Chain A
Amino acid sequence: MFHSIRFKLIASLIAVSLLVGLISILVGGNRLYQSVLDEAHNRIRQDLNVARVIYDDRVDTIRMAMETIASTTTLSQAAMVADPSSVPPSVNALANRIHLDFLGITDMAGQVFFRAGNPAPENRVISENPLVRWVVERNQPIAGTVVLSDAQLRAEDPELAVQARSTMHASPLVPGSSDGLTIGAAVPIVADGRRVGVLYGGCLLNGDTAIVDKIGETVFKNEIYKGRHVGTATIFHNDLRVATSVKDAAGNRALGTHASPEVARRVLGEGKRWTDRAMVLADWYITAYEPLADIAGNRAGMLYVGVLENKYADIRNKAIAMFAGITLAGVLFAIVLSWLLTGRIMRPVSYLIRASAEISSGNLHPNIGPISSDDIGQLQKKFMVMVEALQERERMQRKESETRLIQSEKQASVGKLAAGVAHEINNPLTAVLTFTHLILRRTDLPEDVRDDLAVVAAQTERVRGIVKSLLDFSRQTELTPTAMDVNVLVEDSIRLMENQALIKGIDLVFKPDPTLPILVLDRNQCQSVLINMILNAFDAMAAGGRIEITTRNAGEGPKGGVEISIADTGSGILPDHLDKLFDPFFTTKPVGKGTGLGLAVSAGIIQRHGGVITVKSKPGSGATFTIWLPHRPQDGGQELPEVQS
């Protein structure tokens, strides 16, 4: 079954569809995934830009608030006198509205006289806040990212220091690590055309959720994938997560954890953007990082956005699954298709196989099914031609063997008859011969009686001759084969007949084929056949005739043999006689000139050698007898049943 054409065809179709499917899965799946990833990388870069805009927007908001407040006259008057009590309450209200964590006012030297978050008088010192220092030293407004030390935070508002430290729970306390990352703005306060102080304010980013959640909301639309936010955003102070929407395993914001060293080195160390997959806590994210610089231009932290890689991996897995499904469907389709197809192709072939088997077992009329219109149809037609040729050959062989059988049966029955008749006749014939001769011995017979008696004796001799040839005919059973050269056999036979040919004035010619192989034949019997043929030819011709004997090698192999042809220029044979020519007792010779057994005996001898005698003739233009003898006699030839007396 595994070697059947059907199986092979099905297997190859399956193999092809599997191959195509697998290649599609590997190449297509990866290409698709790659382009999705590329797209994701592009997206995340843009997302980072948006995040940056949101971040800067927040800074801008603070700056605008500071400028607005600073431009009010009540504030500039308060600044002029550096009196905290004259600072209008609307300042605090505004600070609360835009969620400022700290807000303060200093004089032009940076001496703080108002702190919203820490109004204690002992805190009225020279402010070390970089924002304030910037305005004091350069007399210009400033807004941006600023790192405030623990002391500065405490000075602004003790709560801020607590909040900042609370975001560092997971990290060891290293110098500077208790600093807070802030954004803020500071503007000069102008009264009557001169600068009278500095207004500053800002937000602590440590623990802040406003920016990162706004990024999540704006950029990622708070998309949830498998219970988790797809998009995350983080603000790093150095490599420490101080504000983030990344959640740890317990579902808490992953504050106080660190960025991977690789990212920190590239972004903080080299000041470059990072856009690649990165491990964030326990998951792979497609991420983008960029450095955050403080107002002095120093890299103070990083801004991060990232999307869960899982989402894209799942897209890939879905695509692969889809490809696999398509492949499987293709394979199933291939199986069904090839099953049907091979069925169509193989049906006539199966018929042919069955038909061949039937022919082998002897049925020459097999059913080969409907003739198909394709190439197989050609095969079927050729097969039919072959079958017809076989039928024809079978018919011919049957006819031939029937003819042979009839011939043999004829000879056998005649042989038996001859044996019986001969035996019964010979006893009385002995008496006739004896007494005729005894009477002939007498000297007192009248001459006419003697003459008559001589006729009796002669005719009795004739009967004896007939009976003898009958016996010879019935007795021809055993062959004594010896190896011989057929040409020599023919030459010997011709030599025996040369005198008679000379007397009759007949030309006897022999044309031997020198390439004849040695055959194994009964010399005497074969010679008698040849002599019989030559004698028959003599009888068919007047003086001046010609007998041409030729030998020829007729073919090779199991069907090969040697042909001896005896062609005469005699009277020929009537078509009516051709069929009866080899029948015992058939003769065209005048009474007393032939017994009609010569050709029958000859045919029997040649048959027993496995050969055959054929004859061709046209009346008036001679006859050609051809003796065919096989190179190797098959099964000892056609045995005549042995005749016993």
Chain B
Amino acid sequence: MRVLIVDDDAIVIRSCRRVLEAEGMDVHTASTVEKGEEMLADGDFDLMLTDIKMPGRDGFEMIARARRIRPGLPILMMSGYSTAGTIADGRRLGADHFIAKPFTPDELLQAVRHTIAQVDEPR
């Protein structure tokens, strides 16, 4: 299972990578929206986990671009500061689920599974 993590903070990427790799997932990472977009274009992924607040192009842009390139890709967004408004904006752009930072490994895994299940169900 190929997972793409997009976040400008290396420690978040590292944390998520450790949790997901421990579950046997194939984790790829990008620190900017441009790089993430590039990687999505290059290869197939089963899930994208993206931060919202990033310098330059932000997570909303990432979600929008990912939807264009990979319409069926399950997208999980995460944020350290989330309001009902940001969550709604993300969902409108195509995110399937949301997880608030900080989270425990179990919470992250549960959110990932929930995202995939949510996307799989209608198919």
Contacts and interface: CB of A to CB of B under 8 A. Distances in A.
A475 B101 contact: no
Contacts of B108: 434
A422 B81 contact: yes
A31 interface: no
B53 A645 contact: yes
A503 B108 CA distance: 35
Interface string B19-32: 10010000000000
B106 interface: yes
B59 to A, nearest CB: 12
A62 to B, nearest CB: 145
Contacts of A437: 104-106
B18 A423 contact: no
B18 A427 contact: no
B80 interface: yes
Contact of A471 (B9, B12, B81): B81
A419 B81 contact: yes
Contacts of B80: 422-427, 430, 645
Interface residues of A, number: 24
Interface in A420-438: 422-435, 437-438
A426 B81 contact: yes
Given A435-B18, A471-B81, A427 B101 contact: yes
Nearest to B80: A426
Given A419-B81, A435-B15, A427 B105 contact: no
A435 B82 CA distance: 23
B83 A427 contact: no
Nearest to B11: A431
B81 A645 contact: yes
Nearest to B7: A427
Q: Is the interface of A mostly helix, strand, loop or mixed?
A: helix
Contact of B18 (A425, A438, A645): A438
B11 A428 contact: yes
A433 B81 contact: no
B105 A429 contact: no
Contacts of A433: 102-105
A430 B107 CA distance: 11
Contacts of B92: none
B12 A431 contact: yes
Interface in B1-48: 9, 11-12, 14-16, 18-19, 22
B86 A645 contact: yes
**Which one of A426, A434, A437 has the highest number of Cβ atoms from chain B below 10 Å of its Cβ?**
A434
**Which one of B19, B79, B105 has the highest number of Cβ atoms from chain A below 10 Å of its Cβ?**
B105
B86 A426 contact: no
A429 B108 CA distance: 14
A437 B18 CA distance: 11
B18 A434 contact: yes
Interface in A445-480: 460, 464, 471, 475, 478
Interface in B46-91: 53, 79-84, 86
Given A427-B11, A435-B15, A471-B81, 5 more contacts: A422-B80, A423-B81, A429-B102, A430-B12, A434-B103
Interface of B: 9, 11-12, 14-16, 18-19, 22, 53, 79-84, 86, 101-106, 108
Q: Nearest 7 pairs between A and B by C-beta?
A: A426-B80, A645-B81, A434-B15, A429-B102, A430-B102, A426-B101, A431-B11
